[in-house]
């Protein structure tokens, strides 16, 4: 039986007897990884894979920004990329970031590693299915890269018809990739729901679960309920493009707006597949680094689930000016405001947790604070966009681009980086260079705001998104945004550098470097293959920072 | 798409790990569970979640079909009347009966009657082949008339501008019955796999989860047909 | 009605044993076959758009029987019941909001509704249209015909959806 004990930073290496064998060195060789059923190894493989996707998508992003540095798109007298290529570059940026990076990043990479540990389980419910969904991800990634090599697509990541049914390029292969990635995501979600239902440690009721698990569970609900519709939508799109069913293409009697309904029935909830895990991480970071019980545990747990449910009835707000009926736009606009309620509940509860807490500003906490600021801006601008009258003005401008980057990058990626730093000692057994971590986090926040805060102004002034050309009067703001992207990019490369550098030194991380109370801090760093020496039994609530009374 | 394996616990990891303090020696027991009951419940939840994804996958097609029917009511109704009613009805009866034999297979496995399980599974597989044979008759009739799906449609009306209803109708007809047929074929594979294991006497009242789960899959295939049948064959 | 009582007694019978059993399953099968007969019979009665409603209602009863008895949901853990219902619920949400939009923008192209349809099999009478939809001359025109399509030579050109001048009933 394991008692909750609050270890502090004072508890350093060597305090506890460290097992010689852990999940990293128990078996060796390629096949011990490629054929592993261990959720921790699968999580690490997902992490490596999604990081490559992030790098690739990030390079496309830097290229986009560099192209927009000047209205002539010239660098040292040469045109950087032409308009056709530009369309392909932003499409690939979107597809890679959405399907290959953000959707699997937190649930499949960090969640796979951490969630069974938090539940006190030995593994996820279906380990072989877990490995299968990783290989589906790999297959999808290879298909997407093949499509990219074959000339890429210029449809935007949304694949809107009729453009996607008529344009050149390997659209079928690319939608096929998204289809396969969708099933990878479905199987991850299925696995996680079954795990949460059946593999909690003895004594752990639903409201004893860490809030990260609640967030991942809500995400998994969406993955199960929405992604199959994406699957069938993409199949219909492929068939429409190649064989002409007559459902989406107006030339043969279809309805392009119907495609948008099908697509956004998945893709709006998918936005919550992306942001809910980010919120889930923040709910871990804030109590740990405030050294204080979370404020409003149940409110945060319920708000995760209700966000997941509300996400299914607001998709039409992506289609306000797409030819949707007035009635539907009004209904969807009104329903969209519901999203603000659980989001607000979360933000206020996090602030309530920090209030009068003993806050230590380690790197993960810095990212959590950055998240609070950036996500709040992203969320509030979402309300502008959900309002019918303002959206008509702002649709398809840089305001939208800035909004979803504040939510997706300022929210999810920031939280992901926070979580990565938080669990890095647990995953690798090594502490990263804390000083560089803080520097990178500050650079990240500054660079992010330079890049994307600027785009709110661009959008409000009328700069349309996805345009290659722009008016000269927008150049100062575009240039400032591009410089910001360099700062942002540098901070991420710096992060990669010091994290990788930490792998070269011997294992030095204590089991519980941050004084966390959840179960993953009660196994060794890195954990042994079966996670816990003994089956943990839960007797206290999560985030209980009261001292343990020893009998 | 349903060929992706659902993680049926058929015990590949076996008993070597079962010694984590719970004395259960069932060879199908997986090390990360505490009890066999927990393992079986988990498998069932997993299967139901998978079935929900199937419902939503087919659901997308049903929604698309319904909306297209609203767009081209005349062509769709006209085309509906030329689907062969007895073929659809016969297939409905065959599938309902196979669902019955499937549930009897589960029941006999649960009651330690392996020889009965084998026979019920054989009948279920035969029903599945009968279904596919009727489907073959149906499809070949459509092909003879030139009623191919989508752009290959060569029946009446394909040259009339604006008259896309027929091609769209047959596109949906072939997509939905075709996807359902693929599920039948996958089902035959799963049933045969279960049949082999039942013949080896692997199932008993202590362990029959795979039969149970394949049964659930087979019933959802039946359930989808329960909706396909009236929507396609009974519209006049 | 008979089918209802039959399945009901089947359920009651099952309650005494632990989970269903051959008698319950056989009675379920009988009920399903009878309902199949009813739905085939009902399709011969012209109820207008009510035919689809009746067909779907009977199909839903049949699906429920399969779920409750063959798939054991009647005796299963609540979590599996919730999962099963959730699937249909979210499908319902999807359909409902689509219909809100499509209905409101007059999606059901009146030109298509009132066009004389060429029979699928030559020599037979085209199917009668039982559904009553607004006439294009009276109702709001949501989908405007593409102008070019009114040329009679449009048969070779990619044909726009909304127009069918050759056979429009005017």
Dump pLDDT digits (tens) for A330-361: 999 999 999 999 999 999 999 999 999 999 99
Taking CA atoms, what residue in A is nearest to B6?
A129
Q: Is the pLDDT of residue B131 over 60?
A: yes
CA distance C49 to B66: 13
Position A208 confidence tier, pLDDT thresholds 50, 70, 90: very high
How many angstroms separate the CA of residue A77 from the nearest CA in chain C? 45
Close Cβ partners of A85 (under 8 Å, ≥ 6 residues apart): none
Same domain, C84 and C168: no
Is the bond into C148 cis (omega within 30 degrees of 0)? Answer: no
| Single pTM value for the model | 0.88
Taking the Cβ of residue A199 and every Cβ of chain C, the question of whether any pair is shorter than 8 Å is answered with no
Q: What is the pLDDT of residue A504?
A: 93
Q: What is the pLDDT of residue C126?
A: 63
Rounded to an integer, the average pLDDT of B140-159 is: 77
Of residues C136 and A41, which shows the higher confidence score? A41
How many angstroms separate the CA of residue C144 from the nearest CA in chain A? 12
Same domain, C87 and C154: no
**Burial class for C134, CB neighbours closer than 10 Å (0-12, 13-18, 19+):** middle
Q: Is the pLDDT of residue A7 over 60?
A: no
Q: What is the pLDDT of residue C134?
A: 47
CA distance A457 to A455: 5
Closest in C19, C83, C127 to B49, CB measured: C83
Position A194 confidence tier, pLDDT thresholds 50, 70, 90: very high
Position C110 confidence tier, pLDDT thresholds 50, 70, 90: low
Number of B:C CB contacts under 8 A?
Answer: 203
Tokens 């209905």 sit on residue:
C103
**B74 to chain C: which residues are within 8 Å by CB?**
112-113, 115, 117, 126-127, 129
Same domain, C58 and C28: yes
Query: Are residues C93 and A313, on separate chains, in Cβ contact within 8 Å?
Result: yes
Domain that holds residue C153: 105-119+130-170
Q: Is the pLDDT of residue B73 over 90?
A: no
Contact A273, A188 (CB under 8 A): no
Average pLDDT, chain A: 92
**Residue C47 forms part of a structural domain:** yes
Query: Are residues B97 and C29, on separate chains, in Cβ contact within 8 Å?
Result: yes
How confident is the model over A68-80, as pLDDT tens digits?
A: 999 998 888 888 8
Same domain, C16 and C97: yes
Separation in Å, CA A540 to CA A34, A210, A536: 38, 12, 12
CA distance A204 to A2: 13
Query: Are residues C97 and A229, on separate chains, in Cβ contact within 8 Å?
Result: no
Same domain, C78 and C156: no
What domains sit in chain B, N to C, each tagged with a CATH number? Answer: 35-233 (1.20.120.80)
Position A544 confidence tier, pLDDT thresholds 50, 70, 90: confident
Same domain, C169 and C114: yes
Taking the Cβ of residue B75 and every Cβ of chain C, the question of whether any pair is shorter than 8 Å is answered with yes
Q: What is the pLDDT of residue A58?
A: 97
Of residues A246 and C129, which shows the higher confidence score? A246
**B163 to chain C: which residues are within 8 Å by CB?**
115, 117-118, 159, 164, 167
Same domain, C19 and C93: yes
Of residues C106 and B186, which shows the higher confidence score? B186
Is the bond into B75 cis (omega within 30 degrees of 0)? Answer: no
Taking the Cβ of residue A24 and every Cβ of chain C, the question of whether any pair is shorter than 8 Å is answered with no
**C159 to chain A: which residues are within 8 Å by CB?**
251-252
Same domain, C57 and C112: no
Q: Is the pLDDT of residue A87 over 70?
A: yes
Same domain, C134 and C110: yes
Closest in B78, B147, B164 to C117, CB measured: B78
Is ipTM strictly over 0.90?
Answer: yes
Rounded to an integer, the average pLDDT of B104-125 is: 94
Q: Which chains touch C (3 or more CB pairs under 8 A)?
A: A, B
How confident is the model over C2-61, as pLDDT tens digits?
A: 334 333 333 333 333 467 889 999 999 999 999 999 999 998 888 877 888 899 999 999
Query: Are residues C93 and A312, on separate chains, in Cβ contact within 8 Å?
Result: yes
How many angstroms separate the CA of residue A218 from the nearest CA in chain B? 14
Q: What is the pLDDT of residue A548?
A: 59
How confident is the model over A122-135, as pLDDT tens digits?
A: 999 999 999 999 99
**A125 to chain B: which residues are within 8 Å by CB?**
7, 42, 45-46
Same domain, C27 and C79: yes
Same domain, C97 and C134: no
How confident is the model over A454-484, as pLDDT tens digits?
A: 999 999 999 999 999 999 999 999 999 999 9
Contact A349, A296 (CB under 8 A): yes
Query: Are residues B163 and C118, on separate chains, in Cβ contact within 8 Å?
Result: yes
Average pLDDT, chain B: 85
**Residue C124 forms part of a structural domain:** no
Close Cβ partners of A295 (under 8 Å, ≥ 6 residues apart): A349, A350, A352, A353, A355
Q: Is the pLDDT of residue B1 over 50?
A: no
CA distance B173 to B179: 10
Q: How many structural domains are present in chain C?
A: 2
Closest in B7, B42, B72 to A128, CB measured: B7
Q: Can you give the C-alpha Rg of chain C in angstroms?
A: 24
- Looking at residue A339, what DSSP letter applies? G
- Looking at residue C161, what DSSP letter applies? S
What domains sit in chain A, N to C, each tagged with a CATH number? Answer: 36-522 (1.20.210.10)
Query: Are residues B81 and C165, on separate chains, in Cβ contact within 8 Å?
Result: no
**Residue C69 forms part of a structural domain:** yes
**A254 to chain C: which residues are within 8 Å by CB?**
161
Query: Are residues A251 and C158, on separate chains, in Cβ contact within 8 Å?
Result: yes
Contact B44, B211 (CB under 8 A): no
Q: What is the pLDDT of residue A545?
A: 82
Q: What is the pLDDT of residue B146?
A: 81
Taking CA atoms, what residue in C is nearest to A247?
C161
Query: Are residues A315 and C100, on separate chains, in Cβ contact within 8 Å?
Result: no
Q: What is the pLDDT of residue C167?
A: 38
Same domain, C15 and C78: yes
Query: Are residues B60 and A262, on separate chains, in Cβ contact within 8 Å?
Result: yes
Q: What is the pLDDT of residue A2?
A: 41
**Residue C125 forms part of a structural domain:** no
How confident is the model over B80-105, as pLDDT tens digits?
A: 888 889 999 999 999 999 999 999 99
Q: Is the pLDDT of residue A12 over 50?
A: no
């Amino acid at each position: 039986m394991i008692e909750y004990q609050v270890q502090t930073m004072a508890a350093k290496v060597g305090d506890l007897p460290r097992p010689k064998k852990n999940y990293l060195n128990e078996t060796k060789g390629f096949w011990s990884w490629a054929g592993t059923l261990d959720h921790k190894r699968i999580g690490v493989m997902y992490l490596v894979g999604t990081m490559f996707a992030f790098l690739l998508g990030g390079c496309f992003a830097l290229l986009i920004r560099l192209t927009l540095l000047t209205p002539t798109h010239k660098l040292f007298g040469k045109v950087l990329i032409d308009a056709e290529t530009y369309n392909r570059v932003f499409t690939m940026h979107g597809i890679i970031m959405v399907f290959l990076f953000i959707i699997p990043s937190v649930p499949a990479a960090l969640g796979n590693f951490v969630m069974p540990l938090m539940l006190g389980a030995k593994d996820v419910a279906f380990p072989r299915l877990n490995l299968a969904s990783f290989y589906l991800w790999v297959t999808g990634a290879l298909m997407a890269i093949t499509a990219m090599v074959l000339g890429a697509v210029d449809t935007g990541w949304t694949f809107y018809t009729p453009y996607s049914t008529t344009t050149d390029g390997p659209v079928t292969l690319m939608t096929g990739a998204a289809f396969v990635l969708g099933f990878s995501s479905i199987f991850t979600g299925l696995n996680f729901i079954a795990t949460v239902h059946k593999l909690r440690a003895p004594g752990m009721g639903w409201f004893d679960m860490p809030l990260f698990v609640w967030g991942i569970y809500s995400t998994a609900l969406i993955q199960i309920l929405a992604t199959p519709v994406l699957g069938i939508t993409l199949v219909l799109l492929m068939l429409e493009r190649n064989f002409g069913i007559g459902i989406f293409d107006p030339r043969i009697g279809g309805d392009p707006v119907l495609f948008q309904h099908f697509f956004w029935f998945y893709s709006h909830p998918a936005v919550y597949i992306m942001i809910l895990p980010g919120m889930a991480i923040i709910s871990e970071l804030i109590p740990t680094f405030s050294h204080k019980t979370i404020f409003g545990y149940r409110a945060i747990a319920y708000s995760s689930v209700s966000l997941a449910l509300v996400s299914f009835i607001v998709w039409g707000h992506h289609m306000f000016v797409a030819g949707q009926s007035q009635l539907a736009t009004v209904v969807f606009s009104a329903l969209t405001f519901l999203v603000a309620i659980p989001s607000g509940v979360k933000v206020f509860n996090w602030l309530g947790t920090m209030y009068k807490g003993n806050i230590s500003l380690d790197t993960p906490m810095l990212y959590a604070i950055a998240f609070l600021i950036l996500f709040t801006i992203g969320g509030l601008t979402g309300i502008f966009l959900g309002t019918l009258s303002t959206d008509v003005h702002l649709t398809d401008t840089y305001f939208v681009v800035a909004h979803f980057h504040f939510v997706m990058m300022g929210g999810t990626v920031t939280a992901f980086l926070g979580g990565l730093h938080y669990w890095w000692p647990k995953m690798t057994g090594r502490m990263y260079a804390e000083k560089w971590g803080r520097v990178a986090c500050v650079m990240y926040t500054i660079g992010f705001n330079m890049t994307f805060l600027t785009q709110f102004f661009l959008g409000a002034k009328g700069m349309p998104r996805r345009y290659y050309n722009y008016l000269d009067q927008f150049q100062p703001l575009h240039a400032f945004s591009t410089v910001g992207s360099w700062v942002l990019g540098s901070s991420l490369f710096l992060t990669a550098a010091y994290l990788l550098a930490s792998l070269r030194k011997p294992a030095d991380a204590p089991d519980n470097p941050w004084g966390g109370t959840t179960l993953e801090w009660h196994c060794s760093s890195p954990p042994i293959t079966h996670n816990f020496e003994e089956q943990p039994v839960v007797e206290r609530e999560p985030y209980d920072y009261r001292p343990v009374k020893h009998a | 798409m349903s060929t992706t394996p659902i993680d049926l616990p058929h015990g590949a990891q076996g008993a070597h790990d079962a010694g984590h303090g719970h004395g259960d020696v069932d060879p199908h027991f997986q090390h990360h569970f505490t009890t066999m009951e927990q393992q079986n419940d988990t498998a069932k939840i997993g299967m139901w979640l998978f079935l929900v994804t199937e419902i939503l996958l087919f659901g997308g097609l049903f929604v698309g079909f319904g909306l297209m029917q609203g767009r081209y009511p005349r062509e769709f109704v006209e085309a509906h009347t030329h689907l062969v009613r007895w073929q659809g009805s016969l297939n409905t009866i065959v599938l309902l009966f196979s669902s019955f034999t499937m549930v009897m297979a589960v029941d006999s496995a649960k009651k330690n009657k392996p020889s009965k399980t084998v026979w019920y599974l054989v009948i279920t597989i035969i029903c599945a082949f009968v279904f596919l044979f009727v489907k073959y008759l149906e499809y070949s009739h459509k092909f003879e008339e030139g009623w191919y799906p989508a752009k290959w449609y060569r029946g009446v009306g394909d040259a009339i501008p604006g008259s896309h209803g027929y091609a769209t109708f047959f596109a949906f007809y072939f997509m939905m019955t075709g996807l359902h047929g693929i599920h039948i074929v996958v089902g035959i594979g799963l049933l045969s796999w279960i049949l082999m294991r039942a013949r080896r006497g692997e199932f008993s009242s202590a362990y029959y989860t795979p039969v149970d789960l394949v049964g659930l899959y087979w019933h959802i295939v039946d359930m989808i047909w329960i909706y396909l049948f009236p929507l396609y064959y009974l519209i006049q | 009605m008979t089918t209802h009582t039959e399945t009901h007694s089947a359920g009651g019978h099952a309650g005494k044993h632990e989970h269903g059993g051959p008698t319950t399953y056989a009675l379920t099968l009988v009920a399903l076959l009878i309902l199949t007969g009813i739905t085939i019979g009902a399709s011969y009665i012209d109820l207008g758009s009510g035919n689809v409603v009746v067909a779907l209602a009977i199909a839903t009863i049949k699906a429920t029987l399969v779920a409750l008895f063959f798939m054991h949901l009647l005796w299963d853990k609540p979590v599996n019941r919730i999962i099963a219902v959730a699937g249909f619920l979210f499908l319902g949400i999807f359909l409902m909001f689509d219909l809100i939009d499509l209905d409101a923008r007059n999606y059901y192209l009146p030109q298509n509704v009132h066009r004389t349809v060429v029979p699928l099999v030559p020599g037979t009478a085209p199917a009668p249209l039982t559904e009553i939809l607004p006439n294009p001359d009276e109702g709001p025109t949501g989908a405007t015909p593409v102008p070019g399509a009114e040329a009679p030579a449009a048969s070779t050109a990619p044909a726009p959806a909304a127009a069918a001048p050759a056979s429009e009933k005017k």
